[in-house]
Amino acid sequence: MTHPTGPRFEGKSYDFAKYVDCQNWIGGEWVAASTGESQAVVNPRHGEVMGRVVMGGAADVDAAVAAAKAAFPAWRATPMRERAQILYRLKGIMEENMEELAWLLCHENGKLWGESKASVDKAIECLEMGCSLANMMAGGQLDVSRGVNCEVSYEPLGVVAGIVPFNFPTMVPMWMLPQALVSGNTFVLKPSEKVPFGAQKLAHMFKAAGLPDGVLNLVNGAQATVEAICDHPDIKAIGFVGSTKVAKIVYERGAAHGKRVLALGGAKNHLVLVNDADLELASENIPASAFGCAGQRCMAASVLVGVGDVQKYVDRMVELTNQMEMGKDIGPVIDQAAVDRITRYIDDAEKRGAKVLVDGRGKKGPGNGFWFGPTILDGVTPDMPAGCDEIFGPVLSIIRVNTLDEALRIENKSPYGNAAAIFTSNGHTARYAVERFQAGMCGVNIGVPVPREPFSFGGWNDSKFGHGDMTGEDGFRFWTRPRKVTTKWAKQADQTWMG
Ligand code: NAD
């Protein structure tokens, strides 16, 4: 008998384990792609194929949208409290199967066990926000004049879609699904073709929690699937998370087809280190931010701007980084293309005069996969590619300046604006910097300043296209539209302009 949460993933350690092939989930059926195409899903630690994923196209998007459209009337008519109950049940199922979910992520994405577990915890936290909506989002009403009442309610948009990246296979879909589904939409999700299994598991778990067929559909694939989503006339809104290049394409193409689009893009996050900062706090936090999840986080520290003499901090960071063990303290990156790209940035920075304080090139881990050691570059300048491009790997580029204003000018010049943080022991300095950062998510003595629920997630500038943020209350607003109803039941003696 099949398990209610789908085929079990049996891996319970980093040892290589295979998994089943991933199909599309349309109207409550697992189906092959119309294209007949599929591609390998490679375990980044071992470099071995753990399964395959179908690669869909426009016909698969059509089928998923048709299923979502058919499911919409009944789902919309289901009271919000009942819709939220499904998320409560899903939370229980995810907690019961936490180990399996987390090990699956270790294998498809390469994360360390602790990183995987934390990302599933965060996915559950996002789910809790969805559970709360039925208590938080009742709408509102007011007597706006004598005998005249105005009421606002938030209505679903219809069929909506989400397109997600490889770095958080379970968490990023949960930035979208709770708010979108609880508010009454039906959904087409396009997982990353590099890591399709996390979303596949979620679909099984949603089903086990009682989500009606067709309310959530998965179409696997890459560019062709994404383009079909952008162009489809029956998809009303798209949430996208990925690189800036693709975020811009999806934003523009989706908007050209009249859709509401919120597209979160890439990042180049600056951490400003002032030499009054706590030595241990800063020296532990900064490498943890740069090298956690092998630097494959949109919130990872990428540039460290040291103000004044920060040598003792750099020395301590180098010492701590040199202690990191491959495969235990840092996992692999996603594929060989990532290893090659990161190598190119370091070679180039070295050629331009940067000093490689810790060199991750050629470092191997336990397994024949895609390893890259943590790397610290010193003497980087803001115009070097390593100083301004998103590298998306375990590389920390140090730029040294004399004043805080100089540091802020460098941060402000970056076209991105996802996160920025300052390390200092002085409250005024912290406030001065935070008020001037060009970033949507700022930190004080925190290397990864992710605003946890109920606060919303989203950057500024080239790190986000569209209005509002992805999670929290903003997420609810994004996936709904307000209906205002103005009512009068009797003619009033004292006429107003609304009479
Ligand atoms: P990506 O942009 O390559 O892929 C994202 C999605 O777009 C995937 O589902 C992919 O299949 C699809 N896609 C890829 N190329 C496409 C194309 N040419 N046309 C249409 N669709 C395409 O991103 P990735 O490599 O999977 O993820 C890493 C990137 O995501 C980094 O830039 C990272 O900063 C960013 N990211 C941002 C956030 C955020 O909140 N801002 C969060 C996580 C990741």
Same domain, 345 and 469: no
Number of domains in the chain: 2
Q: pTM of the prediction?
A: 0.97
Q: What CATH number is attached to the domain comprising 196? A: 3.40.605.10
Q: Which atom of ligand 1 lies closest to the CA of 244?
A: 32
The answer to whether 363 and 270 have CB atoms below 8 angstroms apart is: no
Same domain, 226 and 375: no
Residue 160 above 90 pLDDT? Answer: yes
Q: Which atom of ligand 1 lies closest to the CA of 265?
A: 41
Same domain, 304 and 335: yes
The answer to whether 247 and 80 have CB atoms below 8 angstroms apart is: no
Q: Is residue 438 part of a domain?
A: yes
Q: Is residue 493 part of a domain?
A: no
Ligand 1: centre distance to CA 142 (Å): 43
Residue 1 above 80 pLDDT? Answer: no
Choose among 22, 40, 205, 14: nearest CA to 115.
14
Does the Cβ of 392 fall within 6 Å of ligand 1?
yes
Same domain, 228 and 301: no
Does the Cβ of 193 fall within 6 Å of ligand 1?
yes
Q: Quick one: pLDDT band at residue 4, thresholds 50, 70, 90?
A: confident
The per-residue pLDDT for range 119-145, each reduced to its tens digit, is 999 999 999 999 999 888 878 899 998
Of 168, 298, 471, the one to substitute when testing ligand 1's pocket (max ligand atoms within 8 A of C-beta) is 298
Same domain, 123 and 224: yes
**Which has more pLDDT, 1 or 229?**
229
Average pLDDT over residues 433-450: 98
Q: What percent of the chain has pLDDT over 90?
A: 94
Structural domain boundaries, residue 130: 2-265+463-483
Q: Which atom of ligand 1 lies closest to the CA of 246?
A: 2
Average pLDDT over residues 453-463: 95
Note the pLDDT of residue 495: 64
Q: Quick one: pLDDT band at residue 401, thresholds 50, 70, 90?
A: very high
Residue 2 above 90 pLDDT? Answer: no
Q: What CATH number is attached to the domain comprising 295? A: 3.40.309.10
The per-residue pLDDT for range 171-192, each reduced to its tens digit, is 999 999 999 999 999 999 999 9
Q: Is residue 457 part of a domain?
A: no
The answer to whether 282 and 430 have CB atoms below 8 angstroms apart is: no
Active site residues: 298
Q: Is residue 94 part of a domain?
A: yes
Of 227, 241, 456, the one to substitute when testing ligand 1's pocket (max ligand atoms within 8 A of C-beta) is 241
Same domain, 91 and 189: yes
| Tokens encoding 296 | 């494959």
Same domain, 100 and 248: yes
Q: Is residue 106 part of a domain?
A: yes
Residue 463 above 70 pLDDT? Answer: yes
Does the Cβ of 418 fall within 6 Å of ligand 1?
yes
Q: What percent of the chain has pLDDT over 70?
A: 98
Of 174, 189, 243, the one to substitute when testing ligand 1's pocket (max ligand atoms within 8 A of C-beta) is 243
Q: Is residue 496 part of a domain?
A: no
Strand (E) positions, 32-72?
A: 38-43, 48-54
Same domain, 221 and 314: no
Note the pLDDT of residue 14: 98
Does the Cβ of 246 fall within 6 Å of ligand 1?
yes
Ligand 1: centre distance to CA 42 (Å): 18
Same domain, 339 and 434: yes
Same domain, 336 and 245: no
Does the Cβ of 196 fall within 6 Å of ligand 1?
no
Does the Cβ of 53 fall within 6 Å of ligand 1?
no
Q: Is residue 158 part of a domain?
A: yes
Same domain, 63 and 172: yes
Q: Is residue 489 part of a domain?
A: no
Does the Cβ of 295 fall within 6 Å of ligand 1?
no
Write out the DSSP string of 155-195: EE-SEEEEE--SS-TTTTHHHHHHHHHHTT-EEEEE--TTS
| Tokens encoding 430 | 């912290």
Same domain, 80 and 99: yes
Average pLDDT over residues 190-216: 98
The burial of 61, by beta-carbon neighbours within 10 Å (0-12 exposed, 13-18 middle, 19 or more buried), is given as: buried
Ligand 1: centre distance to CA 464 (Å): 12
Write out the DSSP string of 394-418: SEEEEEEESSHHHHHHHHHHSS--S
How is residue 329 annotated by DSSP?
T
Residue 235 CA to residue 254 CA, distance in Å, equals 9
